[in-house]
Chain A
């Protein structure tokens, strides 16, 4: 079956530090991959997505590349801000099967 495994948190960084949150997946077909962000008390918002191998999704300084050979979709940002503090979810979708990782809580300190 399909599944997503992402780096356990919590992750605490200082402002302007480099961020990596690891995400790997298992899939029977060729899924689309997503990163969502959830701010306190809110629903999830799409951060970026990639729909085929070698695609790079990017938004607000965040990037992730769909790596079929390593079945990974790691999230990176070169310089985090306090406003990036949130919970980040990796997800895959293949037709009607939608799977989310457990989430990684990021706290950025000034």
Chain B
């Protein structure tokens, strides 16, 4: 009963390096989301997807790119990491009935540090 999984769990990058965070869900959900969590700020939506092959910007999309080539996977890319991107990243998925009312299911998070 995996639910939403995220890879890796921890990562340390140097400024300017690139990396990809992988999110996978096994619940056949249509919608997927990437958030970042910073101290004292709650979660902020980076990008989301309402179906395979589609992506859209959230509240804080700058410096990130995403892809949803397969329904079960949602990738978050950092092309040139900056210290301001040090954060905990959470992926979530939801069934796809409604962006407003769907229950979201969250992964365990990826802690990223950019030096």
- Seen from chain A, the residues whose Cβ lies within 8 Å of a Cβ on chain B are 4, 31-32, 41-46, 49, 51, 89, 91, 93-103
Contacts and interface: CB of A to CB of B under 8 A. Distances in A.
B42 A101 contact: yes
Given A43-B4, A43-B90, A51-B101, A98 B106 contact: no
Interface of B: 4, 33, 40-45, 48, 56, 58-59, 90, 92, 99-101, 103-109
Chain B: interface secondary structure?
Answer: loop
Contact of A93 (B99, B105, B107, B108): B99
B100 to A, nearest CB: 5
A102 B42 contact: yes
A16 to B, nearest CB: 29
A103 B58 CA distance: 20
Given A93-B99, A95-B100, A101-B42, 17 more contacts: A4-B42, A32-B100, A43-B107, A44-B43, A44-B92, A44-B104, A49-B103, A89-B43, A93-B100, A94-B100, A96-B58, A96-B99, A97-B59, A98-B58, A98-B59, A100-B42, A100-B44
